[in-house]
Amino acid sequence: MSGGKFFLTLVAMLLRVVLFFLIPGLVKSSMSALGNLGAKISGIGSRFGSSVTGSARKSDAFQRGSEFGEQLRGRGIAARHKILGKITGGKYTGSKGSKRRLARAIGAQEARIRGDAKAAAIAGGGFISSGRRDDITSSAIDAEETQGIKDAENGYRLDENFDANSESKVSEELEKRLNELNQNPENVEVRRKVKALTKILLETDNGRGTLMETVQKFAEANQGSKAASILGKYLGNGENMGKIKGSDQRGLQKLVMDINNGTAIKTALEYSALGTDKLKAGTVGNIDVSALKQQVAAAKAGLLSGNNLTQVTDVYRQALASENAANLINGESLEQINKLLKEEFKAKNGSYDGFQEVRLGSSTSDSGTIQIHAIQNST
């Protein structure tokens, strides 16, 4: 090999080897440069974001939202202190377990209120649509009202000087609070107490019957008042109206509709006679005994009479003749149905003489099946 060729070959070999050492260094330098560039971009973005956030927080809208949130939080703290007062030095004397449950409920309430406060601050920040802002604010207000009603209800149930299981006591308290609300419809505490007492009465058969009388009396005396409107709207919400319809309190249902529609309020007995044409044999077992008592009173007063009385008693006879329907009718309901049948008998015959009371009995068919049916029993 000549000297020239040897030198060229040596240079080529050296160039190949140098690449192995040169390329990693180049790659390292490139990655370092990219990292510096990314850090600079990130820094610019952070400064820009901080600038926007700072401007937003200084805006009037955000400040108003924050103030509203603090107000909500303040109300929650006040409610907590009020209930804690019951636990530590008030009338509440429940078990330690009950106190712990109540303490957890207070903590959950505070968490909800803090969440509502944050939502209100966001809603007032001007960064969302007006419709969404209204939805968030409305939701926060509804949540606060619902919790306030629960707190008021718990207050009554925990008060050892108040019998929340007595329909008459609850009704008296409701009448008192309704009159207070009528004097000052903007009183939030009284409004929530009215709703809490209404909620308590809606839970039982006798309670719903008592509520019908209390609401009718107040609505008739204060037609068109803001307090009557508040009560009507609360009774007309989905949950409460579901309880009213589910127990076939048709008089109370029509009363609530008249309050909300601004229709002239009728007497309690007139409402008791309404809606009987809608009754079905298959649902007779669901009717409140208090509603049946109201129908009997309306029949005795002559407000449920003629074809309307015959129609409703025919439905009851059909129910008593049906095995499935009769199985759902208890003794108290049957007693009131008999009284209604007795009024129909008198309307047709001029007296009660010869009326035969209906009772439920059973017999065994040829196949051995026990059948429930109505039996006429002379009185």
- Mean pLDDT on 266-287: 87
Domain locations in the chain? 63-162, 163-266
Concatenate the DSSP letters of all residues of 165-180 into one string: T-HHHHHHHHHHHHHH
Q: What is the distance between the alpha carbons of residues 203 and 347, in angstroms, rounded to a whole number?
A: 35
pLDDT of residue 219: 96
pLDDT of residue 377: 45
Residue with tokens 């939030």: 188
Work out the burial of residue 218: count CB atoms within 10 Å of its CB; fewer than 13 is exposed, 13-18 middle, 19 or more buried: buried
- Mean pLDDT on 151-170: 93
- Least confident window among 37-51, 100-114, 232-246: 37-51
Residue with tokens 């076939």: 248
Task: Name the residue among 303, 90, 287 with its Cα closest to residue 208.
Answer: 287
Concatenate the DSSP letters of all residues of 203-226 into one string: TSHHHHHHHHHHHHHHHHHTTT-H
CB 180 within 8 A of CB 227: no
pLDDT of residue 25: 57
Q: pTM of the full predicted structure? A: 0.64
- State yes or no: pLDDT of 11 exceeds 60: yes
Q: What is the distance between the alpha carbons of residues 94 and 103, in angstroms, rounded to a whole number?
A: 12
- Mean pLDDT on 220-237: 95
Condensed to tens digits (0 to 9), the pLDDT of residues 89-134 reads: 444 444 555 556 666 666 666 666 666 666 556 555 555 566 766 6
- Between residues 95 and 177, the one the model is more confident about: 177
9, 17, 289, 337 from 5: Cα distances, Å: 6, 19, 120, 126
- Mean pLDDT on 185-204: 96
